[in-house]
Amino acid sequence: MAPSLHPLIDNGITKGTKNFPGGKLRCHCPSNKVEVTLSSNVLHNHACGCSQCYKPRGYLFAVIAVIPVSNVSVTANGDKLHILDPNATILRHACKECGVHLYGRIEKDHAFKGLDFVHVELSDEKGWQEPQFAAFVSSIIEQGFDPKGMDEIRGKFHSLGLETYDALSPPLMDALATFAAKKSGKLQ
C-alpha cells in the first residue's frame, strides 16, 4: 500500500482560489474547540517532514504555511492553548487536550519573524493556497521511516508536481542566509 503523505496531498493537489479571504482553523476536540481566525490566504504553503511540525495521525508529513501575525487571531477557547517547546525557534501553540497545533510564532530575531505558521487542513473552507513543495523530506527517516522507501516518497511528490528538498526551498534558504549575513555584517 502506498504510504500516506497528507490528506491535502494523497488524492491530488487542489489549487487555491484567487482573492480567497481566509477562514477559521479549529482543533480536534469534540467540544469547546480552540478556534483561530485567519483574515487572509496563506503564503509559502508546503509539506514538511520534520519531527516538530504537526502531522495528522497516520500521515508522514505536515502541511504548513505562513501568514502575517497581524492576520491571525485566537477567537475561541484560547485558554486551552500552551506552548509545546518554549526553547524552539517556532513557538508552537497547541491545544492541551487534543494536541493539534493551532499556530506557531517566532518571537526572537529571525528572518521569518512577523509570520505565523499554520495548518490549513484545520479549516473547513476551500481555497487556501495549495502546497508548493516538500521540505525536510529526509527528516522522516529520523522518525523511523525505512530509508529504502524514500524513492517512492520523493517520486509521489514529483508525480504531483511538488519539488522535494531536505531543508527548505532555495528561495527560503536564501532568505535565511541573507538574514544571517546581514546580522554578521558580511552583507549590507
Residue 50 is labelled as binding a ligand = yes
Q: Pick the catalytic residue: 34, 38, 53, 100?
A: 53
Name the minimum Å distance from CB 80 to Zn ion: 6
Answer yes or no whether residue 174 interacts with ligand GSH by CB under 6 A.
no
Within residues 1-30, the interface with Zn ion by CB under 5 A covers: 27, 29
Provide DSSP, 42-91. -EEEEEE-SSSS---TT-S-EEEEEEEGGGEEEEE-GGGEEES-TTSSSE
Name the minimum Å distance from CB 98 to Zn ion: 3
Name the minimum Å distance from CB 48 to ligand GSH: 5
Name the minimum Å distance from CB 142 to ligand GSH: 5
Instruction: Find out whether 156 and 91 touch, Cβ atoms under 8 Å.
Output: no
Going 72 to 78 to 81 to 82, the CA torsion angle's sign is: positive
Answer yes or no whether residue 66 interacts with ligand GSH by CB under 6 A.
no
Euclidean distance between CA atoms 42 and 20, whole angstroms: 9
Euclidean distance between CA atoms 170 and 104, whole angstroms: 22
- Of residues 123, 129, 139, 164, which one binds ligand GSH by CB under 6 A? 139
Q: Please choose, out of 18-26, 86-94, 126-134, 147-155, the segment that lies near ligand GSH by the rule CB under 6 A.
A: 86-94
Active site residue 66: no
- Of residues 21, 43, 78, 88, which one binds ligand GSH by CB under 6 A? 88
Residues contacting residue 112 through CB under 8 Å, at least 6 positions apart: 66, 106, 175, 176
**Torsion angle, alpha carbons of 162, 103, 123, 11, to 10:** 20
Answer yes or no whether residue 168 interacts with Zn ion by CB under 5 A.
no
Which of the listed partners (ligand GSH, Zn ion, none) does 25 bind, with a CB threshold of 5 to 8 Å by partner kind?
Answer: none
Within residues 53-112, the interface with Zn ion by CB under 5 A covers: 53, 95, 97-98
Instruction: Find out whether 176 and 44 touch, Cβ atoms under 8 Å.
Output: no
Q: Which residues bind ligand GSH (CB under 6 A)?
A: 48, 50-53, 88-90, 136, 139, 142
Active site residues: 48, 50, 53
